[in-house]
Amino acid sequence: MIIYKTDEEIELLRHSNLIVSKTHAEVAKHIRPGIQTLALDKIAEEFIRDNNAIPGFKGYRGFPFTLCMSVNEEVVHGFPTKRELKSGDILSIDCGTIANGFYGDSAYTYAVGEIAPKVKKLLQVTKEALYKGIEQAKVGNRMGDISSAIQEHSQGRHGFGVVQEMVGHGVGRELHEKPEVPNYGRRNTGVKLKKGLVIAIEPMINLGKRHIEQMEDGWTIVTKDRKPSAHFEHTIAIVGEKADILSTFRYTEESIKKNKELTEV
């Protein structure tokens, strides 16, 4: 069952997503070669709790950390570890919070130091694909309009692999609500988009082929060909002719600009 949100509930969702967005910005200040992803996870948890919210992922279905941190060929759901980042790595961070009973959810892929031009292109195209999908998120359209816009841009125009097994989702009092939001599909198919629908749109795009597999930890998803993967995500509300983006990259990208150890994408 799809749960449509009232205007008041959308404002509560906005608040939780704002905390997610500011958590990204806080973590981005500390990303550099030599830092352990586990240290970044601790920074995120402390920041979330200091802002009167709860880490939305920690303990969710047994996930043991605050952030999903996926490096290079890791697509999503990677564990923070003592592994040290190095120049040339890409780091996908997915963050969730709970505030006032509602979830926030947003992801961003960071370029550590100097990255290969083809990998930088992957990040740029994945972020562009997210916004191409958001452009289609309006009352009267269908889910397939979002999905096909993402696929057409990343695969059709640029030849990257679109992960099909992992999808976006509804967001509300639960982290994963109906409906699913695939990153591939056909226009004018799927669920009709109505006012009050809140969804997370999250392209997961591979430099190589689309195929993925799960690691032995039961969580981390990697590309089968071990080529890099990028992930960008916004939580948005369907409100009319134009989507209301509840999360924001503004604070994150301000932090990236100030951090000389990161490359802007």
Q: Which residue has the tokens 């997610």?
A: 20
Q: What is the rounded average pLDDT of the residues 50-68?
A: 97
Q: Name the pLDDT band for 111 (thresholds 50, 70, 90).
A: very high
Burial call 61-87: b when 16+ CB within 10 Å, e when fewer = eebebbbbbbbbbbbbbbbbeeeebee
**pLDDT tens for residues 178-227?**
999 999 999 999 999 999 999 999 999 999 999 999 999 999 999 999 99
**β-strand pairing of 221-223 with 74-76:** antiparallel
Number of H helices, E strands in the chain: 5, 16
CATH of 7-263, one of 3.30.365.10, 3.30.43.10, 3.40.50.300, 3.90.230.10: 3.90.230.10
Q: Report pLDDT for 156.
A: 98
What global pTM score does this model have? 0.98
Q: Report pLDDT for 52.
A: 98
**pLDDT tens for residues 147-166?**
999 999 999 999 999 999 99
**Domain extent listing, the chain:** 7-263
Q: What percent of the chain has pLDDT over 90?
A: 100
CA distances from 176 to 14, 115, 159, 167, 181 (A): 16, 33, 29, 10, 11
Spell out where 113-263 has E strands: 161-162, 168-170, 177-181, 198-201, 204-206, 212-214, 221-223, 229-231, 234-237, 244-245, 262-263
